[in-house]
Amino acid sequence: MIRKFIQQSWFALVAMAIFGMSLAAVDGQLKETIEGNALKKLSDQMRLLLPEAKTFDKKSSRDAQGVEYIYYAGNDESGQVVGYVFEARGSGFADVIVLLVAADASMSTLKGLAILQTNETPGFGDKMKDDAFKGQFLDCPIGEKLTVAKTGDRMVKDREIVAISGATITSEAVVKAVNEAIERMRGIIGK
């Protein structure tokens, strides 16, 4: 029985081995390019969020459980810290949402928000990428936790973020992720 299986499937087994080795070789050759592209995207996003920063210093900190958090201090021409850029993650309606958040040096005002990864529902949750939603985080005060409001004026800069119509779960996930990231960063930098 096994002999008959091997006789009938030898070509498929050889082809799988060849394709597997080929994929591993391509992955090995493209890994540096992929990582380089990801770093360039991150750098471009940080410069958009903190345009007054001329350089970014990568820093890290560990919490009590030993989890490492990476963040970036944005410095002006004189080397003075003008703000921080850090990652925020949350569980959205469909998948994990990964954000890049920027705050001023005093951690009192948000300087912006960029979406790094999302697979939210097209036409609803993916509207989190629109400036109408993201723009609410620009120059938003962060003295208190941000909250989600179902209605309101998106142009008013306060702690209430107006939800995306039909995507309240996504809106709440973004706000929760940002609040948690801000709290973590305040603990790290002592503000």
pLDDT in tens, 135-153: 889 999 988 898 888 877 7
Judged against a pLDDT cut of 90, whether residue 181 lies above it is answered with yes
For 160, phi then psi, to 5°, come to -95, 120
Task: Tell whether the model's pLDDT for residue 124 goes beyond 70.
Answer: no
Q: Are 128 and 97 in contact, with CB atoms under 8 Å apart?
A: yes
Widest CA span in the chain: 76
3-state secondary structure of 155: coil
The rounded Cα 88 to chain-centroid distance in angstroms is 6
Residue predicted with more confidence, 122 or 74: 74
Query: Could you report the per-residue pLDDT of 57-72, keeping only the tens digit for each?
Result: 999 888 778 888 999 9
Of 131 and 128, the one with more pLDDT: 131
Domain ranges of the chain: 1-49, 86-189
